Amino acid sequence: MTDHDDGWTSQTSADTVTEVTSRSWFSRIGSSLTGLLIGPLLILGAIVLLFWNEGRAVGTARSLAEGAGAVVAIAAGAVDPANEGRLVHVTGPVSTGEKLRDAATGVEADGLRLVRKVEAFQWRETSRSETHKKLGGGEETVTTHSYVLDWTDRPVDGSGFKQPDGHRNPPVALAGEAVIQGAARVGAFALTRAQASGLGTPRPLPVDRLDRAVLQKTFGVVAAGQPVDGRIYVGVDATRPRLGDLRISYEVATTPDATVVARQTGTGFTAYTTSNGRSIEILRNGAASPAQVFDDAQAGNTLLTWLVRIGGILLLAFGFGLVLGPLSVLADVVPFVGDLVGGASSMVALAAAILVGSVTIAVAWFASRPLLSAGLVVAGLVVAFVVRRFAGRRPAAVATT
């Protein structure tokens, strides 16, 4: 096996393929320079995302506050036309008017929805890579591709494997994750299928009886299907699975009661529009008071806001990291110097991300909450200063050891 710049060689064993890729220092410099183009785009996208998120958070909070003051609690047992068009709160028992049935297997259940999961015994490829820097700025990556027969819950196209020969997977006869949705009501009020899809707690549905006529039609063999551990096994021997064998399992979602907060429209519900143009349509399992529903919705809005903030700042850090990336590659002529420069660049990128992210959030909030905006700017400056000081000291500390 030989190495050469900007190329690869491979060595094959029974169920593994080892690939060695070498990149010269000049090639790495060229690749890192693309970060100067992509990085600013990511930074701009992150700024737009953070700005949009703050507007969304404020608008949603105001909409929920308005809804909490306008909602009317009504009984689920009868539809009162006087509440037409109003934002109503309804809690009541959930009923379904039809038995759910999977036409592909004949499995039946009572509930809001029936979910079919199909696992196929297929070849699966896993890859593991190790990268080493070389004196002079080059880089070598050793990647090992391994192949194993295993149960997977989605079709695997073996033609894309590094070593497809001997690892081809047959077509999967039945798709998984199919949802059979039923109609539902909360008391006297009808739910659409889309509304009902958000209700119910999934639980495993053991399969102990099979409709062999249906299975034969689906899979085309007389002996297709046998119950094994609550699942349908399609194959010759469940204890010795073969390539292409299937395991089919089910979940059924049910709930005794539900709570709805939405606009009463006829004998059902639609989204309620608040004065700022936001929509309110909340469906949840179990009984909950109007105050509890809106408190939980406000908490969910706060959680989503912080998740997007964190994601936006991480995206900023990645963008700044791409812009600073060429510095560490230039220093990689001596690998350990490149590591020091790379570490310092990462700290600088994080400091810049925190600063820019904080300023963006503050600007977005300034119109409605000026005091909070000023606090965010100050906090961002302090954190960025501390991180920058730490980054400035780190190389010196390493050099003295």
- The pLDDT tens digits for 309-323 are 999 999 999 888 888
- 130 falls within a domain: no
Q: Where a domain ends, among 266, 287, 308?
A: 287
8 pLDDT higher than 50: no
Q: In angstroms, rounded to a whole number, what is the distance separating the alpha carbons of residues 88 and 82? A: 11
> In this structure, are 366 and 333 located in the same domain?
yes
Domain boundary among the residues 287, 309, 331 is at 287
Whether 313 is in a domain gets the answer: yes
367 band by pLDDT with thresholds 50, 70 and 90: low
Q: What pLDDT shows up at residue 157?
A: 87
Task: Name the residue range of residue 190's domain.
Answer: 72-122+147-287
Among 224-228, 272-276, 359-363, the range scoring the smallest mean pLDDT is: 224-228
**284-307 as b/e: b if 16+ CB within 10 A:** bbeebebeebbeebeeebeeebee
Give residue 138's pLDDT.
Answer: 57
Number of domains into which the chain is organized: 2
Q: Looking at the structure, do residues 207 and 333 belong to the same domain, yes or no?
A: no
Same domain, 246 and 110: yes
pLDDT in tens, 11-29: 444 587 777 666 655 565 6
Task: Please tell me whether residues 200 and 56 are part of one structural domain.
Answer: no
The percent of residues above 90 in pLDDT, for the chain, comes to 39
Residue that the structure tokens 């100050």 belong to: 378
* Cα-based angle 292, 295, 297 (whole degrees, multiple of 5): 105
According to the model, what pLDDT value does residue 27 have? 62
- Residue 360 sits in the same domain as residue 234: no
- Domain boundary, last residue among 259, 287, 315: 287
Q: Most distant CA pair in the chain: distance in Å? A: 83
Stretch among 7-11, 161-165, 283-287, 291-295 having the lowest mean pLDDT:
7-11
Q: Judge if 279 and 352 occupy the same domain.
A: no
Task: Verify that 76 and 178 share a domain, yes or no.
Answer: yes
**Interior angle at CA 22, CA 18 and CA 28, nearest 5:** 140
Do 81 and 43 belong together in one domain? no
Render pLDDT for 127-181 as a digit per residue (tens, 0 to 9).
887 766 655 555 667 778 888 999 998 888 888 888 888 888 888 888 887 777 7
For 77-115, write each residue's pLDDT tens digit: 999 999 999 999 999 999 987 788 999 889 999 888 899
pLDDT in tens, 21-54: 666 555 656 666 677 788 889 999 999 999 999 8
pLDDT of residue 397: 41
What does the pLDDT read at residue 62? 92
Q: Which of 303, 369, 400, 289 is nearest to 55 (CA)?
A: 369
Which carries the bigger pLDDT value, residue 126 or residue 374?
Answer: 126
190 and 320 together in one domain: no
**338 with 280, same domain?**
no
Are 258 and 329 found together in one domain?
A: no
Within a domain: 191: yes
Question: Are residues 241 and 381 located together in one domain of the fold?
Answer: no
20 forms bridges with which residues in the sheet?
Answer: 9, 142
Pick from 298, 288, 331: nearest CA to 90: 288
Q: Give tens-digit pLDDT for 177-226.
A: 777 777 799 999 999 988 988 898 899 999 988 888 888 888 876 556 78
* Residue 278's pLDDT band (cuts 50, 70, 90): very high
* Angle, vertex CA 74, rays to CA 68 and CA 80, nearest 5: 125
